[in-house]
Structures are given as C-alpha cells and as structure tokens.
C-alpha cells in the first residue's frame, strides 16, 4: 500500500506496470483515469488482513503481471495482446475483439460480408456507418465480444462483508482464462483446496497460452475432467459441487445449468457461489478483458482518440474482487450468490479520481511521473514465481471420484 494516509492514485498506477502498457507504441506511457490500481491494492490489503498476513500480494502489480510472462507491450488502439481494437463508429468509438478461432466468421456475420481471414477492413468500414447502439444490438445477438465505448457511470462497488478464513475449504473451479482462475489462485494461497473442473470438449483455452503464467494461476490445484453428457459423470459433477464450500463459474449461467448445476440450489445449502460474467448474470452479452474495460469507459485518450489501458485489465481486477468476496460471508451466515459483472467492477473504479494531469517524463532510459507523494518511476510489469506443480487435464479425476464414493 502507499505510505501516505490517503492513497496516492498516480503512484499506484506508476508502480503497477499498467502505465507502461498504456499509450501509443511510439509515445510515452500514460497514467490512466480512475483508481483501479488503488482499488486492487485495497483488495489485497484486505486479503492480507483476513489471512493474518499469510497472503501478501500487491494487487496493483498483479494487474499487469501477465505481460511480464508474455512480453506484451502498449499498442495504443490495439490491445497489448493484439486481439482487440478500438475503432471509430458513426457516433463515437467501439472496442471489438477477435480472439477466438470462430470470431472472423462471427464478425463476417456482424457486417454481412465474407471477410476471409482478415475481418478488420470490413469491420472498420461497417462501424463508420453504424452507431454504437447498432453494434451492441448485433454483437449481443451474434455472441461477438464488442461494444461501444461509453462514458462511465460509477456504480457502487461490491464490498466484502464480514471476513472469514478459507483455510481447508473446498473450492470447485469451473472457470477459465484469467479472472476466475485468479480468484481460485488467491483462495488456494489462503489455504483452500482447489479442484479445477474441465470437460473433454471445453478445456481451459488458457492452457494454450503462456505456460508459466498458466502455472502461476493453477499451480498446486487438482485437475478433474468430467463429461456431463455421460450420466455417471454428470452425477459425479453434482456430487462434487454438493461437497464444495465455494463454486466459481465464469460463463453465462445457462452453461452450468445445462449440466444440472444451479446456483440458487447450492446457495440454499449455505454455499458461496462466485458468478463472474462480462456484464452480469441477467445479460447475454459476452466479453473479454480488453473490450469489457474499454466499453466500461476505462480508456486513455490523446488527440487521436482512445487507447487501451493495460492488458485485459478487467480480468485481474475482477479476479481480485471475486477472491475478496469469496473470503467473506454475510452476517447471517447464509449462503450467498455473488453476481460479479466485470464491466461494473471496472466502472466502479472510475469515480473521478484526478490522474489526467499527471504526465510522464523521461530521465535517461526510464520514465517518471510526479505524484502527490513525490516522484515515482513508471515500472514495467513484474512476474511472481509460480508455486506448486501443474496438473495435466484430468490428472486427479480418479482420486477425486474415489473420495466422493464414485467410480468412473
């Protein structure tokens, strides 16, 4: 945490590594708007208190740590990972992702044209003639991760109620990619037993990404693969969830409901259900970290337009928020469903904190910025060392089923 009584928002951004990932490729790093880095530090400070100091993390630096493994750099209107772009519409700007193998086909359906392997020229031309509302309507219909960049309104943030230890609790993690696995990772550091669940047809796509970053999030966790299309394995899924204290999902509710797993029934037994979605459980819209953050209003700007802030920043910010919520319990001790919207989590950090006047300047090869508590160097993303062995998909299935009294 910052050493001042009041958080130093600019310093938190500078030390996070996010500022170095924000700006034009050939321009200076930029201090983003809002206070997401400060909020992330508040989350990990709360977690440290709950665990009696056993889990010491720097939430601000965790926002940028994936780039320390991948080597991602700031790309201006192209995301650090390269799969999302900020493009002008007829009435403003929009963020559009093309991250999945099927996305070029979906983007072709969006614009009503055969786009081939490179959808961007056709998408850019279509957006210039259509409004952000047009895009949002069609993206929702087609399952495209895209949306207009809208002025943010700051909803009330989700705040953890009474803290509780999670040491020894069973966490069943159905999530993939970054936000949900980060939540599970933090719970594992706090002493929870984490079982990652995948299906044969839908393994975690992040396994194809940077292996060291994947190990960072999943090291020390057990891995189970079950096929809900097979009655016996569907029953095993239900038994595993029934044994859990905490369930993490990071997909639209219909996905697990299709497996016969329902949040309301689990919560009624006293469990904690962490539901992470792009825009809330009531929305059918999908999204990824970059387009979600931009659509929520977290963008940097210069005379040429908006730029992405950091690397998929909605993911780690949401993951830390979800972990703090999972490490809490309502005062009445009942179960709880946490409906965590990634876009609302980002928007809640855009509460008018003044950072736009903070301009980076260079000394030698390094960049610096003046803050309320003195000069701060703009740091590059820093990695943490992975801990624990990484389980291959399904490694622990037989052992877990035996423990549950099932046989495969």
H/E element, 337? strand 336-341
pLDDT at 147: 96
pLDDT at 4: 44
Number of domains observed in the structure of the chain: 1
- The angle subtended at Cα 292 by Cα 291 and Cα 296, nearest 5°, is 115
Which among 219, 193, 187, 169 is positioned nearest to 55, based on CA atoms?
Answer: 187
Residue 370 is part of a domain; what is its CATH number?
3.40.50.10540
pLDDT (tens digit per residue) in 271-309: 999 999 999 999 989 999 999 999 999 999 999 999 999
Answer whether residue 253 is part of any domain.
Answer: yes
Answer whether residue 184 is part of any domain.
Answer: yes
pLDDT (tens digit per residue) in 152-169: 676 777 788 889 999 999
Answer whether residue 119 is part of any domain.
Answer: no
pLDDT (tens digit per residue) in 14-38: 999 999 999 999 999 999 999 999 9
Distance, in Å, from the CA atom of 136 to the CA atom of 144, rounded to the nearest integer, reads: 9
pLDDT at 184: 98
Q: Which residue has the tokens 């387009």?
A: 291
Answer whether residue 98 is part of any domain.
Answer: no
Most distant CA pair in the chain, distance: 65
Domain coverage including residue 340: 9-72+155-283+309-404
Answer whether residue 298 is part of any domain.
Answer: no
Three-class SS state of 80: coil
For 186-203, what is the mean pLDDT?
94
In angstroms, the Cα distances linking 355 to 17, 19, 70 are 16, 11, 28
Four-CA torsion 221, 55, 348, 87, nearest 10 degrees: -50
Three-class SS state of 169: coil
Distance, in Å, from the CA atom of 255 to the CA atom of 96, rounded to the nearest integer, reads: 24
Residue 354 has pLDDT above 70, yes or no: no
Answer whether residue 99 is part of any domain.
Answer: no
Answer whether residue 143 is part of any domain.
Answer: no
Neighbours of 332 (CB within 10 A): 9
Residue 112 has pLDDT above 70, yes or no: yes
Binning pLDDT at 50, 70 and 90, where does residue 146 land?
very high
Three-class SS state of 199: strand
Global pTM reads 0.94
Three-class SS state of 373: coil
Helices 36-50/9-16 angle, 10° precision: 80
Answer whether residue 251 is part of any domain.
Answer: yes
């Amino acid at each position: 945490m910052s050493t001042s009584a009041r958080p130093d928002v600019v310093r938190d951004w500078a030390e996070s590594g996010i500022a170095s990932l924000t700006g034009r490729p050939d321009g200076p790093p930029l201090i983003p708007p809002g206070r997401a880095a400060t909020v992330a530090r508040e989350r990990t400070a709360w977690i440290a208190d709950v665990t009696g100091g056993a889990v010491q993390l720097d939430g601000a630096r965790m926002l940028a740590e994936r780039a320390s493994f991948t080597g991602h750099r700031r790309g201006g209107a192209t995301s650090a990972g390269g799969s999302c772009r900020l493009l002008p519409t007829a009435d403003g700007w929009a963020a559009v992702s093309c991250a999945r193998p099927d996305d070029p086909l979906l983007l072709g359906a969006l614009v009503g044209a055969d786009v081939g392997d490179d959808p961007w020229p056709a998408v850019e031309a279509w957006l210039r003639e259509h409004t952000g509302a047009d895009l949002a309507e069609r993206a929702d219909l087609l399952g495209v991760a895209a949306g207009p960049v809208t002025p943010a309104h700051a909803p009330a943030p989700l705040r953890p109620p009474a803290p509780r230890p999670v040491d020894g609790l069973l966490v069943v993690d159905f999530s993939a990619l970054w936000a949900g696995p980060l939540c599970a990772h933090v719970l594992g550091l706090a002493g929870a037993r984490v079982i990652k669940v995948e299906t044969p047809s839908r393994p975690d796509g992040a396994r194809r990404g940077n292996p060291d970053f994947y190990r960072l999030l999943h090291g020390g966790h057990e891995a189970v693969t079950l096929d809900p299309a097979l009655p016996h394995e569907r029953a095993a899924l239900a038994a595993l969830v029934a044994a859990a204290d905490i369930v993490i999902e990071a997909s639209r509710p219909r996905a697990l409901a299709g497996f016969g797993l329902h949040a309301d029934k689990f919560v009624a037994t006293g469990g904690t259900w962490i539901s992470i979605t792009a825009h809330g459980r009531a929305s059918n819209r999908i999204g990824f970290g970059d387009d979600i953050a931009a659509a929520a209003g977290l963008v940097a700007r210069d005379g040429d337009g908006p730029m992405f802030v950091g690397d998929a920043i909605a993911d780690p910010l949401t993951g830390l928020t979800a972990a703090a919520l999972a490490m809490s319990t309502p005062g009445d001790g009942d179960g709880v469903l946490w409906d965590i919207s990634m876009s609302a989590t980002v928007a809640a950090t855009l509460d008018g904190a003044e950072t736009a006047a903070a301009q980076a300047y260079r000394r030698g090869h390094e960049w610096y910025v003046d803050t309320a508590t003195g000069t701060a160097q703009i740091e590059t993303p820093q990695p943490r060392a992975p801990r624990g062995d990484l389980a291959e998909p399904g490694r622990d299935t037989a052992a877990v089923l035996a423990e549950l009294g099932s046989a495969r």
